[in-house]
Amino acid sequence: MSETAFVPLQWSEASQEAMLAFGIENYEIMQLRRTTRHFSNKPVEKKLIELAIMAGSTAPSGAHLQPWTWVVISQNDLKIKIREAAEVEERKTYTKRMPEAWSEVLNPLGTDAVKTHLTDAPWLVVLFKQKKRLRENGEWGPTYYATESCGIAAGMFIQAVHRMGLVTLTHTPSPMKFLRQILDRPTHEEAMLVMPVGYPAEDAEVPDLQRKSLDEVAVFIE
Ligand code: IYR
């Protein structure tokens, strides 16, 4: 690849008060984020989905290869097809593949093989990880840290969705090969997450969970 030019970083220093105020505000907004399985079918402007994807795509990525493809679906027949295929896999997972160590932590959360969110939500966003890239010389080369890069991008997408006042769910049907087939993606792309996006249903519920405290999740070495 050819040399990249360097330009000055666009950055301006915020006051201590502004930094703290933003940090508090952001945390207060983010701690309200919940994953719900109950979506309304109320339409959502396409522009909002585009903005969330653009925010997600600002994520840092290995060698700046941006190894992600967001496939966005609103067509009903395609959503039905994805739901049917996901439920086939999920039924096998829940009844045959899930070891007890897994079901003991998952059962309390009330998840099951029925994926109504895949047809209720107005948009399905499927995040594909690009495992390879086409080099300038025409050969295929690897991407780097693609899982980490896509994980970060997904997190930023989820934050944008939440801050716009919408909800999403990180659905991980496994195995996910059917998504590449249904959505006609090339073989170097691997589906990583299916994220329905929309408004919560009026009677949406979430499990009554607590998040770990700062002391439980962080170690400061000063
Ligand atoms: N992939 C399944 C099962 C599942 C697994 C975990 I770990 C979860 O936190 C939630 C669900 C599904 O999407 O239902």
* Tens-digit pLDDT profile for residues 52-76: 999 999 999 999 999 999 999 999 9
Please say whether the structural domain 47-201 has been given the CATH code 3.90.1150.10.
Answer: no
- pTM score: 0.96
Ligand 1 proximity of 190 Cβ (cutoff 6 Å): no
Predicted confidence band at 173 (pLDDT cuts at 50, 70, 90)?
Answer: confident
Q: Helix, strand, or coil here: 149?
A: helix
Please choose from 89, 111, 117, 126 the residue to mutate so as to test ligand 1's pocket, defined by most ligand atoms within 8 A of CB: 111
**Rounded CA gap, 189 and 213, in Å?**
37
Distance 46 CA to ligand 1 centre (A): 27
Hey, what are 58's tokens?
């600002």
Per-residue pLDDT tens digits for 85-127: 999 999 999 999 999 999 999 999 989 999 999 999 999 999 9
In which band, very low, low, confident or very high, does the pLDDT at 174 lie, cut at 50, 70 and 90?
confident
Compute the distance between CA of residue 164 and CA of residue 127 in angstroms, rounded to an integer: 19
Contact by Cβ (8 Å): 121, 39: yes
Compute the distance from residue 103 Cα to the ligand 1 centre, in Å: 10
CA–centroid distance, residue 177 to ligand 1 (Å) = 16
Q: How far is the CA of 117 from the centre of ligand 1 (A)?
A: 13
